[in-house]
Chain A
Amino acid sequence: MAKKIKLSINGIFVEVEHGTTILDAARQIGILIPTLCYHKDLCIAGNCRVCMVEVAGQKRLAAACATPCEEEMEIYTNSLNVLHSRKQIIELLLSEHNADCTSCFKNGNCELQKLSSDYKILKQDFIRLVPLQNYTIDKLSPSIIKDDSKCIRCQRCVRTCEELQGVNALTVAYKGDQMKITTFFEKPIHSVVCSTCGQCINHCPTGALVERNYIEKVWDAISDKTKHVIVQTAPAVRVGLGEELGFEPGKRVTGKMVAALKRLGFDAVMDTDFTADLTIMEEGTELLMRLKAALVDHDPEVKLPMATSCSPGWIKYIEHMYPEYLGHLSTCKSPQQMFGALAKTYYAKARNLDPETIVSVSIMPCTAKKFEANRPEMHDSGFRDVDYVLTTRELAIMIKQAGLDFLKMEDAHFDRLMGESTGAAVIFGATGGVMEAALRTAYELVTGRDVPFENLNITPVRGMEGIKEASLKIENPLEQWAFLDGVELKCAVAHGLVNAKKVMDSIRTGESNYHFIEIMACPGGCLGGGGQPIPTSPEIRRKRAEAIYAEDTGMTLRKSHQNPEVIKIYKDFLESPGGEKSHHLLHTHYTARERF
């Protein structure tokens, strides 16, 4: 039925599907039209007006991002009219912009900067409108800095927070020249419902939203001879970092990353993947305990489904939005915080270090992890468990600052004790990964056999579908798990908080009866985290996910309980999953928060 539409762009004929925008049609034939408010992940806003093109026979120019192609349209993307207008619009944006690029965190990766560089606005004779009357610079959050003087009002952040995250922490307020992006009652962002996920940062074209960076602090620590500075790297970092340093999306740079961290001067380079495996042991045990309490003891207090707790953005979200469901969260800390608590206890003891001298740094794809490390309860080692959290982007900056030629870096290996990991840990970086890792271990624990999926690949929980469901029937369990015989374990996986909301609402209304749900705050899981390289898009996230699963397939050990260092830590230190020491160091509690 859908007939193709024929049109011409700059004299080149092209055929497109019904509903294709001029922007996409042009891209199909290699014509790039500049954009600012447009983002692949978001609905069309059409407010920046830099994508204007001329349509023959029309009085006004058309916004290419927002205008669907029509039969026989004759479009010009570079006519004099278009060029003049486009230049003037960029000029207008700059006149309203605190364009102090040399002291801006986004210097070098800013869409506005790139546009002004492409269009060479050399003479800016509009009147400078900065400093604006109505702006604030909010530096109070441990995760996010919001600087209105760098904002071009494209509303990408607002759409991100609403469409991808369903949080609506950011809104547009006022009109005319006073119009700005703000929060509920213009409160600082750390005091509102914001999950600190950082997706708005990832989608902001300018320096108006950036992470709070701790690069200087980490350099200070490294150069302090009295400190022993250790670093952990999250699973998703190794499939993203390359993008900041000259590789195409989807490149795995694990070995280079480790080598670079060593060259930066960290005293030990270890792996969050180790505690990801540990998380599986703890969380898997917790799940089985809950199932037992429900099925055998008929304990009315037991909370099912159990929800994963390794995404601190998700944790903050549920604390604000569904506080009555906090009991459903696994009490396990995130792998980052497990690592932090062990670094200043287990590691300190094994290496004979005074924990006071240890500075624990983590490299995360995430800005919520900055908030998490800052939570008052994260001091179970007797010290602040994780001192500094850097995003993937901040690490890339340090690597550039240190003058390391990343492309030429030889691979290196993680240091021992907390540096060993399995394929199950790596896939924590992708949506569905925690679920898959947990099932691999729990199923084997209960039945003594591998999960019934080819090559251990639990494909129903993989992929970019917003909500994925899977069920796994337990047959012929080992004797101690006999009560699970015939039980159909029902699972759901959601990524992006807007999908988390759907899952939570289905639990609230009783529509669903899951046993176990995995929720990641960010689209695609951590690989699409708010601390990952910019830009992001469905395509880029897909490539990062492929890299993650390739990393898993390439590992000899692919089940968390096989990790020799995990076996060792239970033997030497923790005793057993869910044991007393685990409880003290690896588990936590949650706080209900206000909903504004």
Chain B
Amino acid sequence: MTESYQLKRADFIFKNENDWEEVMSKSFSRTPQELINELISSELKGRGGAGFPTGLKWKLTAEVVGDTKYVICNADEGEPGTFKDREILSMVPFKVLTSMAVCGYVIGAKEGYIYLRGEYFFLLPELNKAISEFEYYCKEINVDFTIRIFMGSGAYICGEETALFESMEGKRGEPRNKPPFPSDFGYLGKPTVINNVETLAHTYTIFKYGAKRFYDLGVQYSRGSKLFSVSGDTPKPGIYELELGMSLYDFVDEFGDGDTKAVQVGGASGFLVPRKRFQETAIGYQGKLVGISLPTGGSMMLFNSSRSMYNVLDNYLEFFREESCGQCTPCRVGCQQLLKGIKAVKRGEKKTQYLDKLLRLTDTMKLTAKCGLGQSVANSFSSIVENFREEMIY
């Protein structure tokens, strides 16, 4: 049995930010420990990918001894079809800036960076204006915190936190070995909190209303609301803030075109859920519950019966083959093999059993790839191949 709610809209993220000065001064009047506890009890998990508990992340970084620490806002938003972070930064930038400064206060950092996706350069004038106003206020209330923008290079992999640090350090954007984790060894080797834009926007909500308002939304292990980028075969594509824990059935009921055969949850690195499993699938973070699908960046792509799942997979694999940084064997070569492999099966050059070898290959990639990109190729591959095997062959 899956615990799930009916689809419920929420409206926190884009709600007005005019009270940011108040949230800011209120937060600064509390102790770092109180703020960490607030975050921990909200059970907020990172909205940028891995779903790491945000309170714990701040706590770990706060506990590391060090003079120089950094707060980084990950606004690389490279997942095709998602632009929720862009919307947040253009509509409620002060929420993000405030949360960065509060994070700096909590962990002991005086510098923050926004790593902005290269294509979002048009946000710069407004964002810079907001930053100067924000920094002016910081000075006024004697808060020593500055924020700078770092423009990304356009490579998807630079959204991965350690590749992002490398890129900021002027090096090639290749993910690092973990451990050490950013909380110990982040940007320039210093303890660093890196959070997604949306994660930071949620911390604003939590600091403003207290943990409970947030915690009361969602289900066990998946608290709060989340922005979803709805696209594909839907009459109403767009960005929606929804409560976590809803069943995919209700979601499709709301957003589908009546002929939805599958939904890709979480973009290229997420899972494909076929119609027969809509009912049992709840949208949230992997917990002890079965059938919960990780939303990662929040991309929800609907496919109706006119779509070829072979083409869908082909597209994803093409994307990974190109966007892999190429450093590690399982991912660089694995992606090429998967792509060539499904083509060969489709053309009859390889027996259908070759798909099983490819599935074993994705297991190896999951076990051995150096970063989340290579590790998660298996998600879409196995969920598509297992559910739509005939479409791969004929």
Contacts and interface: CB of A to CB of B under 8 A. Distances in A.
Interface in B206-242: none
Most buried by A among B323, B326, B340: B326
B172 A172 contact: yes
B368 A60 contact: yes
Contacts of A153: 326-327, 329, 332
A37 to B, nearest CB: 9
B125 interface: no
Classify the secondary structure of A's interface with B: loop
Most buried by A among B177, B323, B335: B177
Interface string A449-488: 0000000000000000000000000000000000000000
A96 B336 CA distance: 9
Nearest to B336: A177
A176 B373 CA distance: 11
Interface stretch (B69-77, B187-195, B357-365): B357-365
B117 interface: no
Given A177-B322, A177-B332, A179-B325, A84 B177 contact: no
Contacts of B366: 60
A508 to B, nearest CB: 23
A45 B166 CA distance: 13
Classify the secondary structure of B's interface with A: helix
Interface in B362-390: 364, 366-370, 375
A175 B368 contact: no
Interface in B336-369: 336-337, 340-341, 344, 350, 354, 357, 360-361, 364, 366-369
A88 B367 CA distance: 12
Nearest to A70: B179
Contact of B340 (A127, A152, A179): A127
A59 to B, nearest CB: 8
Contacts of A46: 177, 328, 370
B157 interface: yes
B326 A174 contact: yes
Contacts of B340: 127, 129
B266 interface: no
Interface in A50-76: 50, 52, 60-61, 63, 66-68
A553 interface: no
A61 B340 CA distance: 26
A523 B43 CA distance: 53
Given A96-B333, A96-B336, A176 B326 contact: yes
Interface in B105-121: none
B336 A85 contact: no
Contact of A127 (B177, B324, B341): B341
Nearest to B326: A179
B368 A85 contact: yes
Contacts of A29: none
A68 B179 contact: yes
A20 interface: no
Nearest to A126: B337
A179 B374 CA distance: 15
Contact of A93 (B321, B329, B357): B329
B322 A52 contact: no
B255 to A, nearest CB: 32
A48 B328 contact: yes
Nearest to B327: A47
A409 interface: no
A129 B336 contact: yes
Interface in A152-183: 152-153, 155, 171-172, 174-179
B155 interface: yes
Most buried by B among A60, A63, A93, A126: A126
A176 B344 CA distance: 20
Contacts of B324: 175-177, 179
A61 B368 contact: yes
Contacts of A81: 367
B326 A175 contact: yes
Most buried by B among A46, A50, A52, A176: A176
B367 to A, nearest CB: 5
B165 to A, nearest CB: 16
A84 B361 CA distance: 10
Contacts of A93: 329, 333
B334 interface: yes
A67 B155 CA distance: 27
B291 interface: no
B330 interface: yes
B179 A49 contact: no
Given A46-B370, A96-B336, A89 B323 contact: no
A84 B324 CA distance: 23
B337 A127 contact: yes
A176 B333 contact: no
Contacts of B335: 176-177
Contact of B360 (A88, A92, A155, A175): A88
Contacts of B329: 47-50, 89, 92-93, 152-153
Contacts of A537: none
A152 B357 CA distance: 23
A178 B324 CA distance: 10
Given A44-B177, A47-B370, A92-B334, A85 B364 contact: yes
Interface in A71-117: 81, 84-85, 88-89, 92-93, 95-96
Nearest to B343: A127
A125 interface: yes
Contact of B330 (A66, A92, A177): A92
A49 B341 CA distance: 22
B388 to A, nearest CB: 22
Given A49-B329, A129-B333, A175-B326, A66 B155 contact: no
A578 B8 CA distance: 92
A16 to B, nearest CB: 16
A88 B325 CA distance: 20
A75 to B, nearest CB: 15
Given A52-B368, A68-B179, A177 B328 contact: no
A177 B321 contact: yes
Contacts of A95: 333, 337
A84 B334 CA distance: 15
A215 B291 CA distance: 66
B152 to A, nearest CB: 14
A129 B360 CA distance: 19
A46 B344 CA distance: 31
A81 B344 CA distance: 27
A292 to B, nearest CB: 47
Contacts of B360: 84, 88
A152 B329 CA distance: 8
Contacts of A176: 320-326, 332, 335
A175 B179 contact: no
A97 to B, nearest CB: 10
Given A153-B327, A175-B322, A178-B326, A63 B370 contact: yes
Contacts of B350: 127
Contacts of B354: 125
Interface in B287-309: none
A172 B328 CA distance: 13
Nearest to A52: B368
Closest 7 CB pairs of A and B: A179-B326, A66-B177, A92-B333, A46-B177, A47-B327, A176-B322, A88-B364
10 contacts: A47-B328, A49-B370, A85-B368, A88-B360, A127-B341, A129-B336, A175-B326, A177-B324, A177-B332, A179-B327
Given A88-B361, A153-B326, A176-B324, 9 more contacts: A46-B370, A47-B327, A49-B370, A84-B360, A92-B329, A92-B333, A153-B329, A176-B322, A176-B326
Interface of B: 155, 157, 172, 174, 177, 179, 320-330, 332-337, 340-341, 344, 350, 354, 357, 360-361, 364, 366-370, 375
Interface of A: 44-50, 52, 60-61, 63, 66-68, 81, 84-85, 88-89, 92-93, 95-96, 125-127, 129, 152-153, 155, 171-172, 174-179
